[in-house]
Each structure stands twice: as structure tokens, then as C-alpha cells.
Structure 1
């Protein structure tokens, strides 16, 4: 399709739906979607939440709800729709290979929100219906900035007239103001906490980060030695600060940890190291403030922030209990505490767990000369090779395109729609690319799956990431070859009976002798960890899950209202933190301005 046709189709459709939006005509607005299957993803434009509406009736119902005496569509007043034709997301052909053979037109646009006064950006995917009319397969509406409180794009340091303070003095003064009265307290100085703090700073909000470790990056630095990121560097960029072009395609954990340390300095983030919450935080609804006791080094400090952001990452290590664990005479520990494979050279090792951590640790033992390495696989695993994953992560844009454009397009697609495409046959292409790997793994006795539960449909890695925080997946960077070659043996062992002084016994009577047993058994649910931090009174007011998908396909309680005033959860992949930190900042800013 010629570029002029792409622009004409996009402009005509956009002009028509703008008329419906600006006049508050929900029926006309919905008529611009496919009657069957059209979806809208809205982030903060029509409500102060994240919503995915699938099908015309749900979209109409949402937009017709009354807010301050007006239907939601009229109340929000989205208008002034304009094609965003100066970015990588300008109108382009839409093509999704697969059994449904989806073809059409896609592109970004900008708009204005009337209430609150804000700027927005959207993305549409159009297809022709049976009558040849262009209809929306998906529509994304996304708040970008609150008018008059736009995100600062640059620091004001350097040469300027009338300078009264040096850069060091300016930063020191700002830090003192934050420490005296932080608007936001962020618990956790990993990538999610750091990017949230950097975003809040650009929005003019005082944010203090507390980090339990002695150095920024230690949450990565202290993990098992051979850990690298399992996805390409481009996708794992930090907000405002891409990695140097000399960085490897897959970043080692130590190099990443050092980058996070420098990031905190470069972004001028106010951080208290060796600091943690010392007692259960208390929320005062009359003042809308928390009282939080902080153990800051060897001092106790009380803070009264308005917002508490929990960026604590995974839950605590999940350590199963079996009879006889205290009788085992070898080394027994969770994968989080794996440090030194060399001391098991010439020894027999059993790794319980067949996900990413289990695979990496098996590789580490083989590399350091363990005489026998056995992986206990308790459930089938979703396996994708690093080469195949890299193809799926490949950016559709030219080199040098800001990763934010990729974030925008990726998050414009309803997750429920993505998973349905996978279930409808979209996963077959990925499986075909890895056929040799999968055949070899099966022959070695390794069980594979692409379903979250039997009969639920093949959703692949995306489904596991968003439903289970990637538990049950292996992005294979080498362990698969070791399994196929027999250098890592596989034991199917869902039914572990007990441990004794020599190793593991299974319920069928079989036994694995071991000098070391590593439990690569994942992590407890976040809410279990949060109960210990927040106490029962607050936790009982919250929905049962953080992470996982809600009924509409949005991630539960993550970068969105938690269910308790002034309490937020910030976690997820680099890309999720990079993109949704903006929405967290906008929601907090709106509450501070009294317009949410």
C-alpha cells in the first residue's frame, strides 16, 4: 500500500472518530470498532486507572458511565486528534502473520484531554470489514502529560546568567529538602525503584529511595555468578539513559549492577543505603500521610510521606519443606544463595527446578567440573532458545530509534488480544524455529509445554511472564545443549518423598544421591512478603494479588491503584518499569494537584 494511501485511510478514520469523541457520542465512537473483537486500551485518559475493554458493548458501557454528572466520554473530552507522522510510529502497513492473516493500517496520533487538562498520545490498528469500511481492531489512548506540569526534558545546570549555586550545592540543597519531607518514599533501589525515582524527579516530585543493601546494584551483584540478562540489551535500557554501544548483547549481572550504581548518581537520585522499614507503616487517613520508621544505618528515622511505593522485586525465596531436610549431610540451599560452584568440582549435584535459574546453575556446575549434574523437573517447562527469543524481540524500527517508541507500540496492544493470537496458532512459528532443540530435549526426557494449564491454550513465554512472572520458563542460553548431550541429566520428580543424609528419595522409591542440592524453586507471591512488611490490617484491604492478569488483561496492582490510598507497587521487567513509571508519576502528581 502506498504511503499516501496509508495516510489518507488513517486521517479519514481519525477525523471521523474525533467528531464522535468531541461531541460525546458514545454510539458513534463505538461504531468505529469491529463489531466482533475490537478492543480499546485506556491508560488514564478516561479514568485514573488502566482499562482494557474488549468488544463494542463493553467499550460503550465504560464510556457511558456517569462521572461528575456527565457520561465518561463527554467528561474527558478527548479532541484535536492529529496523526503523529514525525516519529517511527507514523502510519505504516499492519501485518500480523499467522492463521488469521491480519493486514491493515496502523499508526500513532496525538490528542488533547479536556478534563483533566492533559496531553495524550494514541495508537490505532485498522482493518477493513466485510463492507470495505476501515474499523479499529485495537485503539490505545494514553495520557502523556498534565498541562502546566509537563515532564522536564533537561536539567538546568551548567552555564546560565545569575547562577547563585554550584551544581554540587544545588544537588545538596535538593537532597536536604527531600530528606526533610519526602512526598514519596520508594522502598527498593533496583531498576524499578530507580526508574520510578528518576521519573518522579522529572515531574518535580520529591522522592526518597531506601535500599537495604550497602550499594546500589547489590540486588543483582549478589546473585549467582554466571547470571546474565536473558533478553537483548536494547530491551533492557534504563529510562533516560541507554547503555553504551560497547555493552554486550546480553549484560552480565556485575556489569548491570555497576551501571545501576552509576545511574543513581547520573540521575541525581536521593538514596539512603543500608536502610529498611523497621516497623509496620501506619496510614493516617485524616492527613493522608504515612508514618514510616526507617532503620537508616545505625539510626532510627521517622518519615511522613504521602505516598509509599513498594519496588521490592520478587517475593522472598520459596523453600519447600520435605521430611529429612535436616538430615541431609551435603550442602542444601536456595538458588538465590548460589555463589561458588568450584567447591563442588568432582561432586554430585542435584538442582530442583527447570526454569531459568535452574538452567543457569546447572551450566555453572558443569563448567566447574561437577562429576554429575541432575536437574529435577517437577512440571513441564516452556522453553525458547535465545536465538529465537532475539528474533521475537527484534525491534521493528531502524537502529537508533529511541526504545520509548518501541515501548509505546508494544504497550498499545491489549495483552488479552496478544494471548488470543498465540492461542489461535501464533505460537506455532516460535515452536518451528526451535524444533531441533525441542526434539532433543524430549528425547532426553525433558517435558515441554506452552500452556499455563492443560487445555487452556498455548500462550508461550508472554503468557508465563504476565501470569506467573516467568515462572515455568527457560530462555535457553546453553543448558538445553547440555541436557541433550547428557551432561545435565533429567529426573522427572514431581513427587519428592523425603531427604535423608545421602540425597533425595521420590515417592516411586527412586533415589538421587547428592553432595549438594540447590532449590531453584522460585519465589513466594509478592503479597505474602508484603503481609510481613505492611501487617495484616493494611494487607487485608488489598486485592489478593500483585502481578498476574486481571479479568480485562491488565497487570494486577502494578503501577496503578493498589486498593489502599497512598500505596503503590512498582515491579516488573525493565521495559515495564521504563514505560509505566510515567503513569505512576502522573497518578501521584494528579493526587498532589487535587485533580484525581
Structure 2
């Protein structure tokens, strides 16, 4: 379709949608969706994240009473304007996969009345049986609270009106933050740092405590990945990001005792071990950005008798010391694959991967072509890509995968998968029994990518026999020189690495917060999807006042950190 036609379809639909919204006619508003259409709302109709499918669910949500008015009328979305000046101007779309779903997509801006806010929306329109253009998906996203917009200004040199330098200004700001932080962020990885930066841009004092001695160490200490950005380069970026964003970070610091929340003052009492001294602080908000959880280390009889090196994959640093040795890696996911490659590259005599359950494998070539390049094409501003990617309801993505999307992606790796099966490597695309073939996205959404292998070379080593495969669901016990299985078979080893994943984030939280607070949280996990397809607690209300969780990959944390900052700001302003 010509761009003029795309624009006309979008403009006509949006104009009609605004009439429904500005008059408070929720029935008319909902009629702009397909019967199985989706609404994903982030903070515009409620101070939460919601994804709803089907006309009845959308209408019930918008009809709920808030402060004496239906939610739809209370929020008061209006001033819809089609976005013609960005990469998300009206354009054709076709969803990947065999379903052949295509239509017109585009972005628009709007305002809301309660709260007074600026918003942005994204729509995907297709034709219904009568040829009318209706919303397959509609995304409404709060961008800023009016009068409290995110600052984008940076100052350098001497500050006008104040004869101080940038260094002096930052030092004064840090002193104010340390004296009375509004928000305490535990963890200085990408999620914690981005949350601190977003809060700072909204004028909220945020202090970050990081257990490592240097920002970025959580990446520096990982396995070296053979294809994507080097760990050291990413670690250095985080270090420079903290400086560039003027973030107040206490290094070599940790929570020294269980935090206590005072409901009367709406403040926490937190004891921080800061270097060689303990400091008591009283933030209003506590954000746990503690990463993917502590190492999950199964226990088997005889582990203490093994005479070689035995450690979890989180503590793998250098395979050079294992040159000429026999290595066994328990686990068959991403960590195991990277470590296997590392041992082979450094001359281990024998490398064996123990596969305890089937693995979801996708080649990096296919992932780049189908998963990364589609939502993240080159040359488009990252903010626009994040916005478009965020506009798709996760549960709808999984529906598309189960109904043929995964089968479509698998075709690109058929030769690879057939070769792996021939050497005894087991494959799956179900993140849980009976879930359907949800593919990589399902494992990422529901299991933090546990059980997946984004293959960057290990599969070739497996097929060639340079990495051997042992099916080992039934490990019996360890001996001084290896592992024995319940069928009587044995693997001799000088080094055993447990690539057995990490504990749930909530287990880390329980160790930090204690049972009394953690038992109040519902649902009982931070990540994984709720019944509507939103992540359970991350970057959204946790169920306990003043307690938040921040976690996730860069592309998830970039926009979500802004949503967290907006929710905290709204509470500070008495709006939520």
C-alpha cells in the first residue's frame, strides 16, 4: 500500500477512537478492536501493567469504578495525534510465521486527565470479516507526568550563576543523596543502574549499593562469550554509564541486616555495610536489583569425596588451568555450552556435557534473522525500537509461537537439529509439559531462558564429538574420580562444573528481607508471567508498600526502568 493510503487508514481509525475516548464511551472504544484483539496498558488506565484479550475482558477492565467513575472515563485519554515524524509512522506490518497476519501499524501521542500525563500509543490494525479496520493490538504507555517531565539536560564547565564546576556540583548532589536517599537500590548491574538514572532524571534521590569493588564486575566475572559483545567491554560500558549519568554508587557494600518497614512513617530502616563501616539509612523505597539469583547447586551423595575441582558455572573464570584434563559439565543450556567451548579451546583432554532434560536450541544465525532483526532493525533509534517491541503483549507472542511461529523458526535450523538428534542430544520447544511449542520466547518469558541454548558454536563441537553427550537424568552419586549414574555407568573427571542454573529471585529476596515481608508478596515469584501475560512483580507493584523489583535484559530494563521511576514519582507526588 502507498504511504498515503496507510496514513489515511490510520488517521481515520485514530480519529474515531479519539471521539470514543474523549466522550467517555467505552462501548464505542472497545468496538475499535477485533473480537480477539489485545489491549496492553502500562500505567495509563491503572498504576500497573495490564494485558487483556477479547472485547469482554477489555470492556470489564475499562468499566471498573475508580474514584466514583468508570476507569475509562476517570483516566480521560484525549488529544490523539498520529505520529508521522518517527520510525514508527504508519507502515505495513506482517507478523513472522505462517499465519500471514498483516496490516497497518503506527504510533500516536495522547494526554490523560487523571493523572495529568503525556502518553504514547501503538496500534496494529487488520481487516475484520466485513473489511473494517480494527485493532489487533493497542498499546497505551505513560511517558511523563505533566510538570515533572524527565530531564534530558547535561551541563558542562562552569554552571551559570554558580561558580562551581561539574565535579563540585556532582559531589554536592552525592552528599545530598547519601544524607537522605528517597530510594535505595540494592544491586549495581544494568537494571539497578538504569533505574537509578531514570529516577535521577525525574529529580528523585537514588542511592545504589553494589557488593562488588567496581561497577560492571558482575559482567567482568562471567564466561567470555565467543560471538556477542565481550564481557569486559560491556562491563566497562556500565562503569562509564554510572559516571556519565552521575549515579551515586556505594561499592563493596551490602545490606548488613534484615530491613524493617515502618508503616506509620512509610520508610524503611536499612543497615548498610559500606566498606569498613555500617550506615543506617531510611529510604521511602527499596528496589531489589540483585540479578538472576544465587547459584542453584544440587546435592548428591559423595560430592565431598570428589578429589578434583568442583564448582558452579557462575564461578567459572579460566579454562586454561584445565588443559590436558577430563572435564564434565552437568547441564545443557547456555552456560554449559559457553563453558564447553572454553574448555575445548583451552585444550581439555575430554569434555562431556551431561544433559538432564531436553534443551531448546536455536542457532545464532536464525536468532539474528528471525528474532533480533525483525524487532530491532539496523539504523532505527533504540527508543523507537524499544517502544515498538514493548507494544506487543507477551501472551499474544506466545499464542503466535504455538500456532505455527515456532514451527516456522525451526525450519531454519532443521539440519542442525537433525545432526544433534543423531548424536543423542534431546530437543524440545515446550517450556513446560503441555504448554505447546512456545519456542525461545516462551523459555525467556517463563523460565528466564533456563533450558535454552542460543548456539554460537557448541552444537558443532557436539556433532563432531569434541563435546560428548551423556544423558544423565539419574545421577546416583559422586566418587573421588568422577560421577556414577543409577544405571551403573560412570564418567571419570578431573573437573566437574555444575551448570545447573540459578535459584529464583524470590529466594534471594527472602534471604535479604526475611519471611515476614516475603510472605506478604503475591505471586510468590518475581519473573515468569501472570495470568494476563505480564511479568509477575518486576518493575511493577510488589504487594508490599515501598518495595520494588528490577531485573531483566537490557532491552527490557531500558523502558521498564522509566515505568518504575514514574510509579515512584507518582507516589511521592501523592498521585498513586
TM-score normalised to structure 2 length: 0.98
Residue 513 of structure 2 corresponds to: 534
Match of residue 227 from structure 1: 225
| Contact 1:221-1:257 at 8 Å conserved across structures | yes
Superposed, 1:262-277 pairs within 5 Å as 262-277=240-255
Equivalent residue for 2:566? 586
Q: Which residue of 1 aligns with 2:545?
A: 565
**Which residue matches 1:235?**
none
Q: CA deviation at 1:490?
A: 0.3
Instruction: Give me the whole-angstrom Cα distance separating, in 2, the residues matched to 1:153 and 1:210.
Output: 25
Q: Which position in structure 2 is the counterpart of 1:218?
A: 217
Residue of structure 2 equivalent to 1:426: 405
Match for residue 29 of structure 2?
29
1:453 and 1:157 mapped to 2: Cα distance?
53
Partner of 2:237: 259
- Counting only pairs closer than 5 Å after superposition, residues 171-570 of structure 1 correspond to structure 2 as 171-224=170-223, 226-227=224-225, 250-391=228-369, 392-394=371-373, 399-543=378-522, 544-570=524-550
Moved more, 89-98 or 471-480: 89-98
Deviation at 1:227, TM superposition (A): 3.1
Q: Structure 2 CA distance, aligned partners of 1:103 and 1:209?
A: 45
1:413 Cα shift?
Answer: 0.5
Structure 2: segments with no counterpart, 5+ residues = none
Question: Could you say if the C-alpha distance between residues 393 and 540 of structure 1 is closer, same or farther in structure 2, counting changes exceeding 3 Å?
Answer: same
- Stretch of structure 1 that moved more, 157-166 or 138-147: 157-166
**Counterparts of 2:564 and 2:289, CA distance in 1:** 12
What's 2:41 paired with? 42
Q: Residue 139 of structure 1: SS of its match in structure 2?
A: strand
Quick one: structure 1 residues 161 and 546, their matched pair in 2 at CA, closer, same or farther if it must change by over 3 Å?
A: closer
Q: Distance in 1 between matches of 2:173 and 2:346?
A: 49
- How much does 1:254 deviate? 1.3
Q: Aligned-pair distance for 1:97? A: 3.9
Paired with 1:266 and 1:471, the residues of 2 have a C-alpha distance of 33
Which deviations, in whole Å up to 9, do the C-alpha atoms of 1:150-206 show, x marking residues without a partner? Answer: 000112344664233211111111000000000000000001111111111111110
Task: Tell me which stretches of 4 or more aligned residues in structure 1 moved more than 6 Å.
Answer: none
User: Shift of residue 98 of structure 1?
Assistant: 2.8
User: 2:158·2:166 contact (CA, 8 Å) conserved in 1?
Assistant: no
Q: Which residue of structure 1 aligns with residue 79 of structure 2? A: 80
SS of the equivalent of 1:481 reads: helix
Return 5+ residue gaps in structure 1 as ranges. 231-249
User: Aligned pair in 2 of structure 1 residues 312, 396: CA closer, same or farther (>3 Å)?
Assistant: closer
Go from structure 1 to structure 2 and tell me whether the alpha carbon gap of 1:162 and 1:453 turns closer, same or farther (over 3 Å shift). Answer: closer
Counterpart in the other structure of 1:236: none
Distance 1:525 1:208 in 2: 25
Match of 1:241 in 2: none
Aligned match of 2:112: 113
Give yes or no for contact 1:345–1:370 (8 Å, CA) kept in 2.
Answer: yes
Report if aligned partners of 2:186, 2:287 keep a CA contact under 8 Å in 1: yes
Report SS of the residue matched to 2:204: coil
Q: In the alignment, which residue of structure 1 is the partner of 2:19?
A: 19
Contact 2:158 2:164 in 1 (8 A): no
User: Which deviates the most, 515-524 or 383-392?
Assistant: 383-392
Structure 1 residues 287, 396: CA separation in 2 closer, same or farther (over 3 Å shift)? closer
Structure 2 Cα separation of the partners of residues 577 and 24 of structure 1: 33
CA-CA distance at 1:216 after TM superposition:
0.6
C-alpha distance in structure 2 between counterparts of 1:486 and 1:325, whole Å: 28
Report the alpha carbon displacement of residue 432 of structure 1 after superposing the two structures with TM. 1.2
Q: Distance in 1 between matches of 2:377 and 2:192?
A: 30
Tell me how large the CA RMSD over aligned residues is. 1.2
**Cα distance 1:374–1:188, how it changes in 2: closer, same or farther (>3 A)?**
same
Instruction: Confirm or deny: 8 A CA contact 1:395 1:406 kept in the other structure.
Output: no
SS in 2 for 1:38: strand
Partner of 1:406: helix, strand, or coil? helix
Residue 155, structure 1, aligned to residue 150, structure 2: no
Q: Quote how far apart the aligned CAs of 1:510 are.
A: 1.0
Change (3 A) 1:355 1:316: same
How far 1:346 moved relative to its partner? 1.4
Alpha-carbon distance between aligned partners in 2 of 1:565 and 1:179, rounded to the nearest angstrom: 22
Kept in 1: contact 2:159–2:166 (CA 8 A): no
Q: Secondary structure at the match of 2:324?
A: coil
Scaled by the length of structure 1, what TM-score is found?
0.95
- The answer to whether the 8 A contact 1:88-1:397 is kept is no
Distance, in Å, in 2 between the alignment partners of 1:546 and 1:162 is: 47
The DSSP-based 3-state class of the residue aligned with 1:34 is: strand
Q: Which moved more, 1:442-451 or 1:392-401?
A: 392-401
Q: CA deviation at 1:521?
A: 0.3
Moved more, 72-81 or 253-262: 253-262
Match of 1:247 in 2: none
- Find the aligned partners of 1:335 and 1:97 in 2 and give their Cα distance: 35
Taking structure 1 as reference, are residues 540 and 97 closer, same or farther at Cα in structure 2, changes over 3 Å only? closer
Corresponding residue number in structure 2 for 1:238: none
- Structure 1 residues 79-158: aligned runs within 5 Å: 79-158=78-157
Q: CA shift at 1:332, angstroms?
A: 0.8
Corresponding position of 1:234: none
Q: Which digits, 9 at most, give the CA deviation of each residue in 1:272-331, with x for residues without a partner?
A: 001000000000011110000000000000000000010000111000000111111111
Cα-to-partner distance string for 1:98-152 (whole Å, 9 max, x where unaligned): 3321111110000000110000000001111111111110000000000000000
